Structure 1
Amino acid sequence: MKSKIVICIFLLSITIASLGCSSQSDGSQESSQLNDTKNEIAGDLKDIEGTWMGNLTAPGGLELRIVFNISTNSDGSINASMDSPDQGVSGIPVESVSYKDGNLNLGVKSIKGSFEGIYKENNKTIEGEWKQAGSAFPLVLERVEKVPEMHREQDPVKPYPYTEEEVVYENKEAGVKLAGTLTLPQSEGPFPAVILITGSGQQNRNEEIAGHRPFLVLSDYLTRQGIAVLRVDDRGIGGSTGNFSQATTEDFAGDVLTGVEYLKNRKEIDPGRIGLIGHSEGGLIAPMVAVKSPDVAFIVLMAGQGITGEEISYLQSDLIYRAEGVDNETIAHNEALLRRMYSVVKEEQNNTAAEEKLREILKAEMANTSEQKIESSDHSEAVIDAQVTALTSPWMRFFLTYDPRPTLMKVKCPVLAINGEKDLQVPPEENLKAIDEALKAGGNKDYTVKELPGLNHLFQTAKTGFPSEYSKIEETISPAALEIIGNWISEHTQ
């Protein structure tokens, strides 16, 4: 049996952007000139000079383009940088380059990543692996004259018919500064307003993923409808400060509460008509904030969670593996592995003891998996370390056990909950049912629950809903989904 040993969580970003690179990069991050770092060249530099691009398939099937830019100076020194265009990240320094006998090694220390490949003279490609945080992914690079631009027709083009303002405010309790963009209609205020809340994983204010900027599109649509919109960088990314890796969903709820207070003090905003729109994990956060603050007038849950993270993880794993064509035996084995590891996380509160038990489970799993036996012991240890770190993080401990239903029962403001029919990350049937039942049980008098046909987790019109489709679909958000959200908010802010 070949177990994948993958912890399947509905993260909306891959680690390239979340391990220290700002996806708000504007090119100010200079490429690395390799004079005093590792720089071993024994081969024709013309082989590796230029722009190289390949497609990386991450866990869950999400595909991302990876680009390396390699050039030489007149003194023989080398400039190298890395881009992740589908995440809006560019100019990541490549701190070390080694090219010897056709073997290329690129070290990207800032995100704990590296590429090792072999130059193939016959087809002028570099075939190898991208390694990061203990995982390895096949990556074939091809030389390109220019990185093709993704055509995203829904992305708004300046000048906008509304006002756009960069803002910064502080969550004093957490000691975190939050940076974002506030868009204001040009008509006469005060306006109704919404705060957009990103999904899991470290996201920037546009919630960039797979070449899409869904929060930019949503913000543009709503502002044109007369609704002010605040979208904000998560802790530790873009213009925001703070340690994202040590924060939980509850901590992020505190950041949103601070945003509500900020909007209340803006003269352009009607303090009685401030709402929240949360996507994925943001749909978990919005009800928390609504219960804590009477100033929240309404909430919209886009692919919001109605059951525990542990329950979602099993459902998500099953759906995505089946979409990949994985056999039933392997799916059952992977679920059993997840259950063993989650039991440790839930029952062992001491991190040192939990880490030791998890390592034992993962080492035994690798020893029984022929696919893993061929890998070096160093790499196996790195894989284990990455999995253990993820499992014992404060976020994961909270995510697995938090049940949103008791909080949803306390939400008294109007609620719109929508999911895409083809969502494989937050399955609509189980989650919408749980949300509906909780709101009904709590006596909420004004809520709407809808499953939107043909849409995926990002609310794109999709064929399968598989994450690998995200970047291939031109549409960022279905116009039907935008209209439902816009009309519902308008009805509740008249």
Structure 2
Amino acid sequence: MTGLIRTVLVLMTAVVLLAGGALLLVFENFEISAARQVTLPFKHGTDRLEGDLWLPEGEGPHPVALLVHGDGPQDRTSSDGYNPLINHLLSQGIGVFSWDKPGIGRSTGNWLTQSMADRADEALAALEVVAMQPEARKGAIGLIGFSQGGWVLPEIALKSDAPAFHVIIGGAVTWADQSLYLTRKRMEAEGVSADEITQAIAKERQENQRIFGDAPAADGQLSGREGFIARNFHVDARPGLAALSQPFLALLGKKDLNVDTRESAQVYQSILARAGHPDFEIHLIDGATHSLFRAEDYNFQTPGAWTSEAQLRFLLEGRDAYVPGSLETLSGWVRRVTGSQPPPS
């Protein structure tokens, strides 16, 4: 065997081994490592919904976090994007329940016809079915709301004190202001001048008011995405936050391109302090995106904007894509407010 052939074979073997190692790493990061998985159907109105309850190792019953989706047509794992977070919670002895949105996956209905109040009622129906499971610890079942879920949880607070805790990740205060912030950050990234951005924001505000300002009328006239916006254009987290009595945690990324998290933090702090809320924490996390990923590698406004390089990096990194300490802050807080201990290492 010549030296050249030997070198080529060694290189080919190395490539195969590296590829195999990468596949194992992806499997480890994104295969949900539950001790037990229970598929649970439930109903909300005429919709038949379905989700999975993932349970951790160890003797139960366990605390459980329900995942309340952000915007868009999301299935129970958000196309596997939740999996690293789910695995972290499971590793800390916390069960997780998540379900397909109406009309997505194995759920019937149409998520675009929902208001935030509808989504709140749906989440309470999910909580009720989880509470019936013997593996879920009564009084330790709460909610983690992502992005748009930050309007759903305050709606729930106006309706029920059943959740044991509320966590908002990347939540905004009002729909109207959040949409303008989204436009501003997009235009800044495109290199548009400050004067042009100011003019565009003023025009968008005026146009939004024209189309969606009379929300009940617009709701009846518009369908699809525009109907969904009309139904929710006036949503405001403040009344629900003022009514909240359960432990509350906000995790907000300082580099968020979707939400003005500094405003959210100030409003959350002001309302909860003024209401005399007994147990709340608000964290503005350095270098974190809308989803708490490291901004230097993962700061994109929409899933469609992710580069191929970022997607590959996320597959290889899994939970390490999050800002260091952010997931530990989440799980440690949930354990504290539910009186739970981490599983033995």
Alignment check: 8 A CA contact 2:67 2:144 kept: yes
Structure showing the higher helix proportion among its residues: 2
Alignment-derived partner of residue 490 in structure 1: 335
- 1:67-466 → structure 2 map (5 Å cutoff): 152=26, 155-157=29-31, 160=33, 162-171=35-44, 174-208=45-79, 213-305=80-172, 307-344=173-210, 345-347=212-214, 349-351=216-218, 390-391=225-226, 393=227, 395-463=228-296, 465-466=299-300
Question: Aligned AA for 1:422?
Answer: K
Question: Aligned AA for 1:292?
Answer: K
User: In structure 2, how many angstroms separate the alpha carbons of the residues matched to 1:456 and 1:228?
Assistant: 25
CA gap of 1:300–1:227, structure 2 versus 1, over 3 A, is same
CA gap of 1:238–1:405, structure 2 versus 1, over 3 A, is same
Deviation at 1:414, TM superposition (A): 0.6
CA gap of 1:247–1:480, structure 2 versus 1, over 3 A, is same
Alignment check: 8 A CA contact 2:119 2:152 kept: yes
Alignment check: 8 A CA contact 1:283 1:304 kept: yes
User: In structure 2, how many angstroms separate the alpha carbons of the residues matched to 1:214 and 1:168?
Assistant: 22
Deviations 1:361-394 (A, max 9, x none): xxxxxxxxxxxxxxxxxxxxxxxxxxx8633x1x
Alignment-derived partner of residue 10 in structure 2: none
Based on CA coordinates, which of the two structures has the bigger radius of gyration? 1
User: In structure 2, how many angstroms separate the alpha carbons of the residues matched to 1:352 and 1:446?
Assistant: 37
Deviation at 1:354, TM superposition (A): 6.8
CA gap of 1:351–1:314, structure 2 versus 1, over 3 A, is closer
Alignment-derived partner of residue 481 in structure 1: 326
Larger relative contact order (Cα-Cα within 8 Å, sequence gap ≥ 6)? 2
Question: Aligned AA for 2:38?
Answer: E
User: In structure 2, how many angstroms separate the alpha carbons of the residues matched to 1:164 and 1:234?
Assistant: 19
Deviations 1:385-417 (A, max 9, x none): xxx8633x1x21243211111110110111010
Deviation at 1:153, TM superposition (A): 7.4
User: In structure 2, how many angstroms separate the alpha carbons of the residues matched to 1:471 and 1:458?
Assistant: 18
Deviations 1:155-177 (A, max 9, x none): 3336x351122221112xx1111
CA gap of 1:466–1:184, structure 2 versus 1, over 3 A, is closer
User: In structure 2, how many angstroms separate the alpha carbons of the residues matched to 1:170 and 1:406?
Assistant: 27
CA gap of 1:404–1:190, structure 2 versus 1, over 3 A, is same
Question: Aligned AA for 2:183?
Answer: S
CA gap of 1:405–1:353, structure 2 versus 1, over 3 A, is closer
Alignment-derived partner of residue 3 in structure 1: none
User: In structure 2, how many angstroms separate the alpha carbons of the residues matched to 1:482 and 1:458?
Assistant: 11
Question: Aligned AA for 1:444?
Answer: H
Deviation at 1:348, TM superposition (A): 6.7
Deviation at 1:469, TM superposition (A): 4.7
Alignment check: 8 A CA contact 1:415 1:448 kept: yes
Structure showing the higher strand proportion among its residues: 1
User: Which structure 1 residue ranges, 5 or more long, are not aligned?
Assistant: 1-147, 356-387
User: In structure 1, how many angstroms separate the alpha carbons of the residues matched to 2:214 and 2:255?
Assistant: 34
Q: Provide TM-score, normalisation by structure 1.
A: 0.58
User: In structure 2, how many angstroms separate the alpha carbons of the residues matched to 1:162 and 1:352?
Assistant: 45
CA gap of 1:352–1:161, structure 2 versus 1, over 3 A, is closer
Alignment check: 8 A CA contact 1:181 1:232 kept: yes
User: In structure 2, how many angstroms separate the alpha carbons of the residues matched to 1:353 and 1:226?
Assistant: 46
Alignment check: 8 A CA contact 2:41 2:48 kept: yes
Deviation at 1:191, TM superposition (A): 1.1
Alignment check: 8 A CA contact 1:414 1:447 kept: yes
User: Which structure 2 residue ranges, 5 or more long, are not aligned?
Assistant: 1-21, 340-345
Deviations 1:34-72 (A, max 9, x none): xxxxxxxxxxxxxxxxxxxxxxxxxxxxxxxxxxxxxxx
Alignment check: 8 A CA contact 2:216 2:231 kept: no
Q: Provide TM-score, normalisation by structure 2.
A: 0.81
